[in-house]
Amino acid sequence: MQLTGSEILIECLKEQGVDTVFGYPGGAILNVYDELYKHSDEITHILTSHEQGAAHGADGYARATGKVGVCFATSGPGATNLVTGIATAYMDSIPIVAITCNVGVSLLGKDSFQEIDIAGVTMPITKHNYIVKDVNDLADTIRKAFIIAKKGRPGPVLIDIPKDVTANKAEYQKETPKPLKALNQVSEAELATALKLIEECKKPYIFVGGGAILSDASKELVTFVRKVDAPVTDSLMGKGAFPGTDPLYTGMLGMHGTKTSNYGVSECDLLIVIGARFSDRVTGNAKKFASNAKILQFDIDPAEMDKNVLITAGVVGDIREVLGLLNERLSKQEHKEWIEKIMEYKGRFPLAYHPDVLTGPYVVEEIYRQTKGEALVVTEVGQHQMWAAQFYRYTKPRTFLTSGGLGTMGYGLGASLGAKKGRPDKIVVNIAGDGCFRMNMNEIATAVRHNIPIIQVVINNHVLGMVRQWQNLFYGQRYSATVLNDAVDFVKLAEAMGAVGIRAATQEEFREAFAKALTLGRPVVIDCQIDSDDKVWPMVAPGKAISEVFDEKDLEQGK
């Protein structure tokens, strides 16, 4: 059957089970949008306010569902506006396919109107990318892109299609996607070494990263934890892989991790690292990280072994498969005294905050109470992100969506729209600081336009909170370019874009505002006024070991 390139593109998306696309049209991609119009009953298009919102929307959809997210953009500035979103997905190993269109093949390389070499621009931030100059190659390229995005360590793929290719015709034959082939078998020698290390240790600690979520290994992880009999900590990306309500869970690790996790990892004799990449925000001073421990790492990507921290041994493979094999072979271990010591730490060093005023931690805990821990929480980047990681107890994977690797301010609102489209059954809350909200707050108009009932909570301290915290602690309180003390009214902005706006300055006002938001079924913006000098505790100073973690009391006592 002879079809145009645009028809082939839409048919291939339907082959892959794509039901939602996030995008913004323009001249070069008009043929694709004209074809998409004819299939609007099969593929929903979310017209975002900015292409960056489209990339984040595809990312949020992918994180929330486990499927590949898809975004569209036109040539030139449309394509370059996707770059931050593609880089965000790349750093966190999120499978998206970004489809851009370009000037015609004969105009490429001639500085034509709205021409950009987007394949060259995105080469360092994609798993792979393509420019399709022959319509006969288009269907196979799209199918390969989806395989690459999902296979092994996931990530973004970009396909750039010149406009004449979208109009030219080629033979199209429908194909059913084949199941992904299994990766190389897990090494028996690596498994044997791992078992030996686990069976010989006295003080194990388990550190869980985003790989456990990407491989859908939560069930196997819980079994593994019970068999090893070890406390569990996680990275920002690993939240929800192991239940945050479990007694063995000790909170996040690293710069804003709990004292319990930071002390425990510093004292353990075996650190078992599951799908985590030893980010500098986790390790602190890498030379002093887990210095008393042997390190056993499980990861699908062999490039992660010995990359940031030298390990004792590793097992390369899909996390779910590796844990499944270990669970079959590992006998039940017992570490009673070690667990008791860590639980004593947990009782001695709880997370705390000022109890009587409206604060970020209070807001997060109240969201947890009112949603009974069942919400899908999205964040921007900064203090509010850390509070959302610390004070909401995630019990299921794919319920905490955040930009961990790139730290993208402006990520959350677009991602929350994608998450809600992918998981309409979930209450979706995006938690932002006022600085982050300003970055992409135009996507509130998108939520209203498409009737996507997300709840946007703005932790408004009128400053760039995390940067100010560093300026306060390490830069002599010189608040250079971090004060946002202007006349912007987020409630009026929300109302101007067609959403509901509510302001809260006390705990009672926030309780009432959030309870109301849950009943409305509309996009809601809650502007929470908090103190400019509230800080995220505990903290590890840059360049220090995680064992040197300190909090507000330590600071007051001059420690």
Distance, in Å, from the CA atom of 351 to the CA atom of 260, rounded to the nearest integer, reads 10
CATH number of the domain that residue 222 is part of: 3.40.50.1220
Residues contacting residue 423 through CB under 8 Å, at least 6 positions apart: 64, 65, 376
Q: Are 121 and 76 in contact (CB under 8 A)?
A: no
Mean pLDDT of 261-278: 98
- Nearest CA among 277, 163, 168, 274 for reference residue 228: 274
**How many structural domains are present in the chain?**
3
Q: Please tell me whether residues 236 and 163 are part of one structural domain.
A: no
Strands 157-162 and 96-102 come out as parallel
pLDDT value at residue 183? 72
| 240 plus 104 within the same structural domain | no
For the stretch 424-443, pLDDT in tens is 999 999 999 999 999 999 99
338 and 421, same domain (yes or no): no
Last residue of a domain, one of 106, 139, 171: 171
Q: What is the pLDDT of residues 206-230, one digit of tens each?
A: 999 999 999 999 999 999 999 999 9
**201 within some domain:** yes
pLDDT in tens, 87-99: 999 999 999 999 9
pLDDT score of 351 more than 90 = yes
Are 100 and 221 found together in one domain?
Answer: no
Residue 181, pLDDT > 80, answer no
Tokens encoding 227: 């068999």
Q: DSSP class of residue 104?
A: -
pLDDT tens for residues 22-37? 999 999 999 999 999 9
Q: What is the pLDDT of residues 90-140, one digit of tens each?
A: 999 999 999 999 999 999 999 999 999 999 999 999 999 999 999 999 999
Query: Which pLDDT belongs to residue 184?
Result: 74
Structural domain includes residue 10: yes
Same domain, 437 and 514: yes
Listed residues 293, 321, 348: the one ending a domain = 348
- Residue 390, Cα to own-chain centre: how many angstroms? 16
Q: How confident is the model at residue 446 (pLDDT cuts 50, 70, 90)?
A: very high
- Do residues 128 and 70 share a domain? yes
Instruction: Indicate whether 429 and 494 sit together in one domain.
Output: yes
Amino acid letter, 82: L
186: pLDDT strictly greater than 80:
yes
What does the alpha-carbon distance between residue 467 and residue 210 come to, in Å, rounded to a whole number?
Answer: 26
- Quick check: 342 pLDDT over 90? yes
Is the domain of 31 the same as that of 126? yes
Residue 188 has pLDDT above 80, yes or no: yes
**For position 559, what pLDDT does the model report?**
67
Structure tokens at 195: 């078992």
- Say which DSSP state 41 is in: T
Residues 204 and 279 in one domain: yes
Distance CA(51)–CA(91), nearest Å, equals 19
Range of the domain at 70: 2-171
Write a three-state SS string for 300-335.
CCHHHCCCCCCCCEEEECCHHHHHHHHHHHCCCCCC
Co-location of 111 and 248 in the same domain: no
Say if CB 444 and CB 499 are below 8 A apart. yes
Answer yes or no: is 182 within a domain. Answer: no
pLDDT, residue 180, reads: 83
Picking from 116, 143, 171, the residue at the C-terminal end of a domain is: 171
Report how far Cα 146 is from the mean position of its chain's Cα atoms.
20
Q: What mean pLDDT is reported for the chain?
A: 97
Inside any domain, residue 300: yes
DSSP per-residue string spanning 431-442: EEEHHHHHHHTT
Q: Is residue 354 part of a domain?
A: no
- Has this prediction a pTM greater than 0.95? yes
> Do residues 155 and 204 share a domain?
no
Are both 379 and 528 inside the same structural domain?
yes
Query: Is the confidence at residue 148, as pLDDT, over 70?
Result: yes
CATH code of residue 413: 3.40.50.970
Specify the pLDDT at position 182: 72
SS3 207: strand
pLDDT tens by residue, 49-80: 999 999 999 999 999 999 999 999 999 999 99
Please identify every residue annotated as catalytic.
51, 113-114, 163, 466
Rounded to 5 degrees, what angle do the CA atoms 75, 81, 82 make? 90
CB contact at 8 A, 540 and 549: yes
Q: What does DSSP say about strands 157-162 and 524-529: parallel, antiparallel, or unpaired?
A: unpaired
> Sign (positive/negative) of CA torsion 312, 316, 318, 324?
negative
| 3 state SS for 238-256 | CCCCCCCCCCCEEEECCCC
Tell me whether residue 37 is in a domain: yes
CA dist 373 → 365, 392, 413 (Å): 9, 7, 20
Quote the CA–CA distance of 406 and 469 in Å, as a whole number: 20
353 inside domain:
no
Residue 397 lies in a domain: yes
The confidence band for 286, taking pLDDT boundaries of 50, 70 and 90, is: very high
